[in-house]
Structure 1
Amino acid sequence: MELDDMKLAWQVLDRRLAQQHSLNLQLFRDGKLEHVRRRLQPLAWTFALQIPLGIAMMLWGISFWSTHLGDAGSMACGIVMQVFGTLSVFFPARALALVQAIDYASPVLEIQRRIADLRAWRVKVEAPVFAVIGCVIWIPALLMLAQYEGDRVGVSLWDHLRPGTASWLVLSAVVPLAAVGLACLVLRRMGRLPWLANRLAGAAVQRAEAELEAVMRFERENG
């Protein structure tokens, strides 16, 4: 075989190896991104299921205050529940939009940025808001249920509260809020805030991040 023929053969072999390497890289990337999509799909379903629950709470609040016009205490409870229901619709809807905005055909860095946005929303916005609201929302809910009992006999709960009830309600809100604040402080002092952030972001987000990191590592090592 002449030298020119050998060079041509090596060039053909190099091209085939490069094509095979590119194909292997693409197959690995596509497989990992499919895993990411599957990891996030149940999370998207969870968000979608939370929206009707939020709507139900919002409608409950509206129905309650609109049927207790003139009763300031009952109206306040109904409005608070309506606001909570509205937030319970908005927050999962926002998170669902973040999941659905991910384009798995885009570069890995862009997908990582989208998932980072989802993590930031869940950890820095959603979790703190619902941690605070969750400590107190049971109080108006309890009062609303109690007022329904009063409605049966035509009396207002607020006209028949026992002495000290207001103080008890305030204390019932302050104690869990203080407990949440103390827990965060202890975790900060222990250096466990990253652990907390991962728990709040959710296992699906963590696994998706791990899959994407594997793709980036594979591309660096085989690029």
Structure 2
Amino acid sequence: MELHELESAWKTLDARVARQDVELAQLRARDFASRMKATLLRVTLGQWWQIAVGLAFAVWGGSYWFDHLGTTHLVAYGLAVHAYGIALLATAIVLLVHLSRVDYGQSVADVQQRVLELRRTRIRCERVLWIAGAVMWVPILMIALRFIRVDAWAANPWYVLGNLAVGLVLAAVAGLLMWRKPAWFAKHAMDGGLAEVERRLADVQALRS
């Protein structure tokens, strides 16, 4: 083989390898986007489920306090459940908005920035729900007792206040854990699909660095 023929063959091979590298990179990018979309779809479905639960609590609590206007403690139970339902709705909607902003057609750096914003929002939302949830079982329990014709407040106000005190202690413990162990709380707040997204983004970044 002549020298010029060898050079031509080498250039052809080099161009073919470069083209294959580009195609492989595009294939990996499509595969990455597909996997991420599937993962975030699960997270999105979870938020829609939370919206359904929040709507149920909001309607239930709202109708309960409205039906018992004039009875202070029953109105208080209903308002508490109503407010918790609204909190569930609001946090789920906020997270859905952030989820919709994640575009895997963008660069990994841009996706990471969006996921970081999502992470911060998720942690703030979880703080609200953890603290509220630590107390919310009390009015739910009192309403449940009313369904079996037991008015705990009328029978023994200290029983209600005692349970409320336990709930407040649990809320304080939750707040303390968030403050003293932010990494532990963040890990639990980001558990599930969002944690999987973060891991895959970290793996991609490690391969590129």
TM-score by length of 2: 0.85
Gaps (5+ residues) in structure 1? none
Offset of 1:59 from its aligned partner? 0.4
Gaps (5+ residues) in structure 2? none
* Greater Cα offset, 168-177 or 85-94: 168-177
Q: Which residue of 2 aligns with 1:69?
A: 69
Q: Which residue of 1 aligns with 2:200?
A: 211
CA distance, structure 2, for counterparts of residue 91 and residue 163 of structure 1: 33
Report if the CA contact (8 A) 1:29-1:215 is conserved.
no
CA distance, structure 1, for counterparts of residue 101 and residue 157 of structure 2: 53
Q: Which residue of 2 aligns with 1:128?
A: 127
- Per the alignment, in what secondary structure is the counterpart of residue 106 of structure 1? coil
Q: Give the alignment partner of residue 191 of structure 2, picking from 182, 188, 202.
A: 202
CA distance, structure 1, for counterparts of residue 21 and residue 29 of structure 2: 12
Aligned pairs for 1:88-167 (under 5 A) are: 88-123=88-123, 125-150=124-149, 158=153, 160-162=154-156, 164-165=158-159, 167=161
Task: Provide runs of 4+ in structure 1 moved above 6 Å.
Answer: none
Report if the CA contact (8 A) 2:152-2:159 is conserved.
no
Q: Which residue of 1 aligns with 2:40?
A: 40
Report if the CA contact (8 A) 1:35-1:208 is conserved.
no
Offset of 1:44 from its aligned partner? 1.6
Report if the CA contact (8 A) 1:36-1:212 is conserved.
no
Alignment CA distance shift 1:163-1:202 (3 Å): closer
Instruction: Report percent identity of matched pairs.
Output: 25
- Per the alignment, in what secondary structure is the counterpart of residue 13 of structure 1? helix
Report if the CA contact (8 A) 1:25-1:219 is conserved.
no
CA distance, structure 1, for counterparts of residue 93 and residue 72 of structure 2: 31
Q: Which residue of 2 aligns with 1:84?
A: 84
CA RMSD of aligned residues (A): 2.6
Offset of 1:142 from its aligned partner? 2.1
Q: Which has the higher contact order (CA 8 A, sep 6+)?
A: 1
Q: Which residue of 2 aligns with 1:15?
A: 15
Count of aligned residue pairs for this structure pair: 209
